[in-house]
C-alpha cells in the first residue's frame, strides 16, 4: 500500500543532462536483489562514487539533501532504457517525490506512478525556468494537477486519471484488477482461453 | 473499437480481441495477456507481493520462466558449483525456482535443454504466436512483435498484476508505421537497418507510440532479422514494435513445440494472416526510409540513436549531450571512429544471439584470428542455439579464431552476471544499449551487427565487414 500523495512544497535539485537512462539511475549490477527496499544507496551510483567506491566529493548529487530538495528537474527524455522498477524504487528511497522534465519515458512513467513518484512533463519555457533555478521552491498539487514556482502562475500538467486517483487515495491497481475477476473469467470463457488440460 | 468494415491496423486488430474492459476517461482498458514471460531479476518482488496478499498465480499455464540475466555463462566447477557473481545473484535464482515450484509455473532451469534468454527462448519454442498479447518484466519484450503480437515490457508491479489476474491496465498508445522501402544492399543486415531506423526516429522519438514496421526491406528479413528489428524498438522510446504475419512467420512457426499442429495450425494460419493492416487504414504517424541507402552501421555515442554508417565522420557537437557523449567515448567530432583500438568484442544478447547471428559472425571470422589484445566473447542466446551452433561446428570457428565460447545468458549486454567490459575499455557489441557504464562501470560501447563485430575483432578497430564477405561496399 502506498501513502496517499498530497500537495507538497519542496525545493528542487537539477540534473540537466538529456536522456538520463535507467542504467544511470541504478546500474544493472545492483539488480541482484529480491527486495525493493534500500535501493536509494545505489541511486546514480556511478555518478556519486568512483571506481573504488569512494564518494566523489565534487559530484553535485552528493550535495543534495532530499529532505528539503525532493523534486528532481531533469533533462529531456528522462528514465529511458529498461523496464526496471528498481529505478523508481531507488529514486523514491533516495528521497525523490517528483521528477520534472520535457519528456519522460513510457515504462518509467508507468512504474513511477505505482510507487508514489510523480512524473511531471512541462513545456520548454517552464523547464528552462526550473533548470535555471536549482534549489528553487515549487509546490505540486496533484488534486489540481498544477506545479507552481516563484511568482509565475501555476502550470498545469497531465497525469493519467486512474493513476492519479490511485496516488491521491493511496491504493493500487491490483485491487481494481482483482475486483474484475468475474469479467476476466467470462472473457476467458467467451474466447476459448481457459486452461487446457493436455 | 472500430466499426466492422472500417480498415484496421495490425495493432488495433490484436488489441481489440484482447480487451476485457474498454478504456474510459477514468480508467485504462483491462487487457488480457496470452503469454507472460518471467525471469529471475524483475520477478522476486512480484512473487513476494502475491505472497503478502495471499494470492495465487491465476494462469501458470500461460506463464513461462527462464534464468538469463544474472546467471553465469561459465560452467560449474568440479564440485558442480556455478560461478555466480554474488551470493545475491544465486539467491535470485533460488527464489525463482521456489516460486515456480510453488505456483506450478514451467521454468527452463539449469538442467533444461530449452533454457535461454527469454526473448530468444520463447519464439524458439513456439510460445510466441501472432495475435497474442505478450508481456515480460523486460523492455526488450517488443522482440515478440516480430510475429504480429502486441508485446511490451512491464515493471515489477505489473508483473504482479499479470501473475495474479492474467491482465493489465493499459491505455492504447498512438500508432506509428515505419516503412522501409527498397531492398537492403548485399552485406547490410537487420541490425544495420535497426540502427538506421533508431537514428532516424531519435532516442525518444517513439515515446507514446506502438510501431508497425512495413515495406520491402522488412518483408525480406527472415524471422531472426525481424526479431532484431522489433527488439530494439524501445531504443526509440516505443514500448511495442510489430510486423504483420506472413509466409515467413508461418514457416518459422510450423512444427514448433507449442505452436498448433496439423489442421489446428492451418486454421490458425488463416486467422494470423488476416491480422495484417488493411489497405487504407490510418496511422497517427508515418515515417519512411529508403532501405537501399543503408550501409553497415555503428554507434559513436552513448545513446542507441547515435548511429552512423561505418567510416562516416562523427558529428561535431551541437549541444552538451553530444559533447558529453563524444568525451565519454573518447572520440572526436568531424572524424570517423574507425581508428580507435578495440579491447572487447561481444557477440550475443536478445538482439543478436540467435543462430543466424552466430552464422553471420562465423562467416566473417572463418580462417581469421582475433587481433592480439582483443578479447572476444561469443554467447549463444539459448541452449537450442548453442546445440545447433555446435552441430554446425561454429564454436570451433570462434575458438580457433581466439574467441571464448560461453553458455547462454544475457552476459555482457547487461553486465550483471560477472561478464563485463573493464573501465575505460572500448567494446564493439551486438547488444542493444551503449549507455555510459551499461557493459560495466566506465565501459565504452559501440553497437553494431554480428558481421561488423567479427570484422572488428579481426582488424582490432571498428571495421566495415563487407570486404570480408567479398562484397563491394561502394558499388
Is pLDDT above 70 for B427?
yes
CB-CB under 8 Å, B438 with A161: no
CB-CB under 8 Å, B164 with A174: yes
B150: left (phi over 0), alpha (psi -120 to 50) or beta: beta
Paired strand residues for A72: A13, A99
Kindly state the average pLDDT of the residues A186-191. Answer: 97
Give the whole-angstrom CA distance, residue A37 versus residue A32: 13
Contacts of B171 in chain A (CB under 8 A): 160
The terminus-to-terminus CA distance of chain A in angstroms comes to: 39
CB-CB under 8 Å, B155 with A85: yes
Residue identified by cell 511495442 is B240
- B468, B458 contact by CB (below 8 A): yes
| B contact test, residue of A80, A90, A190 with most B CBs within 10 A | A80
Query: Three-state SS across B316-377?
Result: CCCCHHHHHHHHHHCCCCCCCCCCCCCCEEEECHHHHCCHHHHHHHHHHHCCCCCCCCCEEE
Q: Show the DSSP H helices in chain A as ranges.
A: 22-25, 45-48, 86-94, 106-113, 124-131, 161-169, 173-178, 181-190
Task: Spell out the residues 6+ positions from residue A136 whose beta carbon is closer than 8 angstroms to its own.
Answer: A11, A12, A130, A149, A150
CB-CB under 8 Å, B20 with A193: no
Residue B201: all three cell numbers together: 526516429
pLDDT tens across A118-148, in order? 999 999 999 999 999 999 999 999 999 999 9
Paired strand residues for B307: B299
pLDDT tens across B226-264, in order? 999 999 999 999 999 999 999 999 999 999 999 999 999
Task: Spell out the residues 6+ positions from residue A172 whose beta carbon is closer than 8 angstroms to its own.
Answer: A1, A2, A114, A166, B157
- A23, A42 contact by CB (below 8 A): no
Contacts of A88 in chain B (CB under 8 A): 155
Give the whole-angstrom CA distance, residue B235 versus residue B376: 25
- A167, A1 contact by CB (below 8 A): no
Contacts of A27 in chain B (CB under 8 A): 437, 441
Contacts of A23 in chain B (CB under 8 A): 433, 435-438
pLDDT tens across B283-302, in order? 999 999 999 999 999 999 99
| Nearest-CB residue to B169 (from A31, A83, A173) | A173
ipTM of the complex: 0.97
pLDDT tens across B345-368, in order? 999 999 999 999 999 999 999 999
pLDDT given at position B5: 77
CB-CB under 8 Å, B70 with A46: no
pLDDT tens across B429-463, in order? 999 999 999 999 999 999 999 999 999 999 999 99
Is pLDDT above 60 for A99?
yes
DSSP result, B85-102? SSHHHHHHHHHHHHHHHH
pLDDT given at position B474: 57
Residue B208: all three cell numbers together: 507514446
Name the strand (E) or helix (H) holding B287.
strand B285-290
Give the whole-angstrom CA distance, residue B461 versus residue B311: 11
Is pLDDT above 90 for B111?
yes
Contacts of B69 in chain A (CB under 8 A): 31
| Nearest-CB residue to A82 (from B55, B139, B237) | B139
Question: Count of CB atoms within 10 A of residue B380's CB?
Answer: 31
pLDDT given at position B318: 86
pLDDT given at position A1: 52
pLDDT given at position B475: 42
Please count the CA atoms within 13 angstroms of the CA of B28 that sit on its side-chain side.
22
Kindly state the average pLDDT of the residues B125-148. Answer: 98
pLDDT given at position B319: 81
Chain B: residue whose CA lies nearest to A178: B165
Chain A: residue whose CA lies nearest to B320: A17
pLDDT given at position A142: 97
Give the whole-angstrom CA distance, residue B179 versus residue B177: 6
pLDDT given at position A3: 76
Angle formed at CA A111 by CA B409 and CA A108, multiple of 5 degrees: 75
Instruction: Count interface pairs A-B at CB distance under 8 A.
Output: 189
Binned at pLDDT 50, 70 and 90, residue A197 comes out as low
CB-CB under 8 Å, A82 with B155: no
CB-CB under 8 Å, B169 with A176: yes
Nearest to B410 by CA among B457, B464, B352, B450: B352
Distance of CA B434 to the CA centre of its chain: 14
| A contact test, residue of B57, B302, B435, B443 with most A CBs within 10 A | B435
* Mean pLDDT for chain B overall: 97
pLDDT tens across B313-322, in order? 999 988 888 9
Contacts of A21 in chain B (CB under 8 A): 303, 433, 435
CB-CB under 8 Å, A19 with B203: yes
If one compares B1 and A28, the residue with the highest pLDDT of the two is: A28
Nearest to B253 by CA among B374, B413, B129: B129
Is pLDDT above 80 for B121?
yes
* Total-model pTM: 0.97
- B312, B338 contact by CB (below 8 A): no
Question: Count of CB atoms within 10 A of residue A132's CB?
Answer: 11
| Nearest-CB residue to A177 (from B92, B141, B169) | B169
- A160, B28 contact by CB (below 8 A): yes
Alpha-carbon torsion B335, A21, B425, B469, what sign? negative
Using DSSP, state whether A107 is helix, strand or coil: helix
Contacts of B423 in chain A (CB under 8 A): 51
Kindly state the average pLDDT of the residues B160-187. Answer: 98
Binned at pLDDT 50, 70 and 90, residue A83 comes out as very high
Is pLDDT above 70 for B378?
yes
Min Cα–Cα distance to chain A from B475, Å: 37
Min Cα–Cα distance to chain B from A133, Å: 19
Contacts of A18 in chain B (CB under 8 A): 320-321
Contacts of A180 in chain B (CB under 8 A): 20-21, 30, 165, 167
Contacts of B207 in chain A (CB under 8 A): 77, 103, 105-106
Chain A: residue whose CA lies nearest to B19: A187
Give the whole-angstrom CA distance, residue B71 versus residue B177: 37
Amino acid at each position: 500500500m502506498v501513502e496517499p500523495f498530497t500537495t507538497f512544497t519542496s525545493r528542487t535539485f537539477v540534473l540537466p543532462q538529456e536522456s538520463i537512462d535507467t542504467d544511470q539511475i541504478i546500474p544493472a549490477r545492483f539488480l541482484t536483489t529480491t527486495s525493493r527496499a534500500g535501493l536509494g544507496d545505489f541511486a546514480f551510483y556511478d555518478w556519486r562514487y568512483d571506481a573504488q567506491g569512494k564518494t566523489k566529493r565534487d559530484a553535485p548529487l552528493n550535495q543534495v539533501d532530499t529532505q528539503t530538495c525532493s523534486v528532481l528537474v531533469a533533462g529531456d527524455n528522462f528514465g529511458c532504457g529498461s523496464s526496471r522498477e528498481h529505478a523508481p524504487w531507488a529514486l523514491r528511497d533516495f528521497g525523490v517525490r517528483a521528477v520534472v522534465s520535457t519528456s519522460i519515458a513510457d515504462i518509467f512513467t508507468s512504474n513511477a506512478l505505482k510507487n508514489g513518484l510523480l512524473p511531471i512533463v512541462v513545456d520548454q519555457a517552464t523547464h528552462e525556468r526550473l533548470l535555471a533555478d536549482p534549489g528553487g521552491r515549487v509546490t505540486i498539487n496533484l488534486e489540481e494537477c498544477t506545479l507552481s514556482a516563484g511568482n509565475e502562475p501555476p502550470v498545469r500538467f497531465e497525469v493519467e486519471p486512474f493513476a492519479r486517483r490511485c496516488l491521491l487515495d493511496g491504493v493500487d491497481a491490483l485491487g481494481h484488477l482483482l475486483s474484475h475477476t468475474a469479467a476476466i473469467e467470462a472473457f476467458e470463457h467467451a474466447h476459448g482461453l481457459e486452461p487446457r488440460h493436455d | 473499437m472500430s466499426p466492422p468494415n472500417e480498415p484496421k491496423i495490425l495493432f488495433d486488430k490484436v488489441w481489440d480481441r484482447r480487451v476485457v474492459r474498454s478504456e474510459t476517461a477514468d480508467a485504462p482498458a483491462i487487457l488480457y495477456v496470452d503469454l507472460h514471460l518471467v525471469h529471475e531479476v524483475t520477478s522476486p518482488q512480484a512473487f513476494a507481493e502475491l505472497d503478502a496478499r495471499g494470492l495465487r498465480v491465476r494462469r501458470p499455464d500461460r506463464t513461462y520462466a527462464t534464468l538469463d540475466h544474472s546467471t553465469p555463462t561459465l560452467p560449474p566447477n568440479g564440485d558442480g558449483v556455478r560461478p555466480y557473481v554474488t551470493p545475491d545473484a544465486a539467491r535470485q535464482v533460488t527464489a525463482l525456482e521456489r516460486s515456480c515450484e510453488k505456483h506450478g509455473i514451467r521454468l527452463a532451469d539449469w538442467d533444461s535443454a530449452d533454457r535461454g534468454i527469454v526473448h530468444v527462448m520463447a519464439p524458439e519454442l513456439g510460445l510466441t504466436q501472432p495475435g497474442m498479447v505478450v508481456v515480460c518484466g523486460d523492455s526488450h519484450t517488443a522482440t515478440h512483435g516480430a510475429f504480429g503480437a502486441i508485446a511490451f515490457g512491464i515493471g515489477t508491479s505489473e508483473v504482479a498484476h499479470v501473475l495474479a489476474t492474467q491482465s493489465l491496465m493499459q491505455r492504447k498508445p498512438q500508432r506509428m508505421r515505419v516503412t522501409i522501402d527498397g531492398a537492403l544492399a548485399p552485406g547490410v543486415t537487420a541490425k544495420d537497418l535497426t540502427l538506421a531506423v533508431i537514428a532516424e526516429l531519435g532516442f525518444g522519438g517513439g515515446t507514446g507510440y506502438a510501431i508497425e514496421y512495413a515495406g520491402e526491406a522488412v518483408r525480406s528479413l527472415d524471422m531472426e532479422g525481424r526479431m532484431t528489428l522489433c527488439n530494439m524498438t524501445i531504443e526509440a522510446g516505443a514500448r511495442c514494435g510489430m510486423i504483420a504475419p506472413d509466409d515467413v512467420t508461418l514457416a518459422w512457426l510450423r512444427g514448433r513445440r507449442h505452436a498448433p499442429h496439423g489442421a489446428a495450425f492451418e486454421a490458425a494460419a488463416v486467422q494470423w494472416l488476416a491480422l495484417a493492416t488493411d489497405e487504407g487504414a490510418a496511422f497517427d504517424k508515418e515515417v519512411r526510409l529508403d532501405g537501399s541507402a543503408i550501409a553497415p552501421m555503428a554507434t559513436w555515442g552513448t545513446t542507441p540513436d547515435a548511429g552512423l554508417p561505418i567510416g562516416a565522420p562523427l558529428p561535431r557537437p551541437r549541444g552538451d549531450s553530444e559533447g558529453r557523449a563524444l568525451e565519454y567515448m573518447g572520440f572526436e567530432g568531424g572524424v570517423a571512429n574507425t581508428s580507435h583500438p578495440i579491447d572487447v568484442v561481444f557477440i550475443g544478447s536478445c538482439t543478436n544471439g540467435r543462430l543466424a547471428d552466430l552464422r553471420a559472425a562465423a562467416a566473417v571470422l572463418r580462417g581469421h584470428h582475433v587481433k592480439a589484445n582483443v578479447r572476444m566473447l561469443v554467447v549463444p542466446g539459448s541452449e537450442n542455439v548453442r546445440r545447433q551452433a555446435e552441430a554446425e561446428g561454429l564454436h570451433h570457428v570462434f575458438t580457433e579464431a581466439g574467441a571464448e565460447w560461453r553458455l547462454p545468458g544475457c552476459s555482457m549486454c547487461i553486465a550483471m552476471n560477472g561478464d563485463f567490459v573493464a573501465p575505460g575499455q572500448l567494446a564493439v557489441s551486438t547488444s542493444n544499449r551503449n549507455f555510459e557504464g551499461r557493459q560495466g562501470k566506465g565501459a565504452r560501447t559501440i553497437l553494431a551487427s554480428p558481421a561488423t563485430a567479427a570484422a572488428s575483432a579481426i582488424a582490432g578497430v571498428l571495421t566495415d565487414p563487407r570486404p570480408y564477405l567479398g562484397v563491394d561496399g561502394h558499388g
